[in-house]
Amino acid sequence: MFGTARTLPTSSAALVNAVAGHAWDLDDWEEPGNTHPTVVLLPALLATAHLTPATGRDMLAAYAVGCEIIMHLGEAVTLDHYARGFHSTTTLEAIGAAGAVGRQLRLNGDQIAHAMAIATSQAVGYTVQFGSNAKPLQAGFAARVGVETAVLAAQGATGQPRVIEHPRGFAGLMGKHDPKPFDDMAEKLGTPWALEEYGLVLKPWPSCGYTHRLMTAALDLRGKVLNRLDQITSVRARLPDFHYKILPFDRPTTRNEALFSAPACIAQALVTGGLTLTDSAAGFWQQEPVDRLITCTRVTAEPAQNPELNYDPEQPDHLTIELRTDEVIETTCAYPLGAPQNPMSTKRARRQISQHHHLARGQL
């Protein structure tokens, strides 16, 4: 178990470490599959290294393979899979983790195909669980599945490889079945690598990524209202409907809910200029003036103009603030801070990692 002297069986260690990483809601994510790849793949691969010795190069190669599977599966099933309510960090990544672990265990192509097929039978999780402990547990389940199914395949267990794209399998039952993207996927693998094509989004704040466009917008307006927070009478936010469905907690009552609350995260950004793990532990959503601003905030959803895009630059999030003087200030944000199109500076990323590393050590 990371950061402790405790040990667990391989698959249990993968589960526990993935849960611990995802619970903070500060893990990276990728856009085509809408998943958090590192928090599932890394615990699974580190645990697997205790079964078969692996170099850093071996592990990086396996990680790249896992990301390749996850991102191209995401392309094939499209964001419709996530919009239907499936937690893709669990569904796509259980399959991707099986492929990554199979690569690190040096399985042959047929064995890896069987591992991924077996993993498909356990690849399930739901976005309606967000705002509860079940969300990070689902990420842990995916890491555990990746390890267990690769080990099963190494010992001769088989699955039906066509289960992933079959109309009565993963693609047909958990998305809009279309065989063409799966046919195209085979030709795209590694040309270029998905990590090169899409990159990863690095979160600046420990909350749902769908709050981050609005938080970035709030930072844009913060300088204009910082000394007049008590004069704010209304905060209005507008975002695509499939983003808003993931943020149902307009009036959060727990930490888990607050991290999936657009009003809470907007208010925190306006008041303090950000959100930290310490803020979450202190119950930031209950503190004044954040609490008052939450009650002033109204969020509305609009139909997504292009459901194929996670962040559509033609449909940015909108943030409008009204003051007692009847002054209205507003802005929009197409890409959140941390996205490849709006990256954090290297200095800020290093400072953030260092701060969270020291905080984590202090809590253990």
Residue-wise DSSP of 223-242: HHHGGGGGGEEEEEEEEEHH
Domain boundary among 145, 168, 198: 198
The confidence score (pLDDT) of residue 361 equals: 56
* Contact assessment for residue 35 and residue 29, using Cβ atoms and an 8 Å cutoff: yes
Q: Count the domains in the chain.
A: 2
Instruction: Give the contacts of 57 (CB within 8 A, at least 6 positions apart).
Output: none
Residue 359 lies in a domain: no
DSSP per position, 280-342 = HHTTGGGSTTHHHHHHHEEEEEE--S-TT-SS-TTS-EEEEEEETTS-EEEEEESS-TTBTTB
Rounded to whole angstroms, the Cα distance separating 265 from 183 reads 41
* Same structural domain, 190 and 231: no
Residue 328 lies in a domain: yes
CATH code of residue 124: 1.10.4100.10
Tokens of 109: 């192509």
* Same structural domain, 154 and 213: no
* Same structural domain, 84 and 162: yes
Instruction: Give the contacts of 286 (CB within 8 A, at least 6 positions apart).
Output: none
Amino acid sitting at position 171: A
* Same structural domain, 219 and 140: no
* Same structural domain, 255 and 163: no
* Same structural domain, 48 and 88: yes
Residue 335 lies in a domain: yes
DSSP H stretches of helix in 24-108: 37-48, 56-77, 80-83, 88-104
**Residue-number span of the structural domain to which 338 is assigned:** 209-342
Tokens of 58: 């071996």
Residue 322 lies in a domain: yes
Domain boundary among 166, 198, 230: 198
Residue 2 lies in a domain: no
* Same structural domain, 189 and 233: no
The confidence score (pLDDT) of residue 174 equals: 93
The confidence score (pLDDT) of residue 364 equals: 41
CATH code of residue 245: 3.30.1330.120
Residue 162 lies in a domain: yes
* Same structural domain, 286 and 319: yes
* Same structural domain, 51 and 139: yes
* Same structural domain, 104 and 191: yes
Q: What is the pLDDT of residues 260-313, one digit of tens each?
A: 999 999 999 999 999 999 999 999 999 999 999 999 999 999 999 998 889 999
The confidence score (pLDDT) of residue 363 equals: 52
The confidence score (pLDDT) of residue 188 equals: 86
* Same structural domain, 270 and 131: no
Residue 99 lies in a domain: yes
Residue 219 lies in a domain: yes
* Same structural domain, 178 and 217: no
Domain boundary among 155, 176, 198: 198
State which residues of the chain have pLDDT below 50. 364
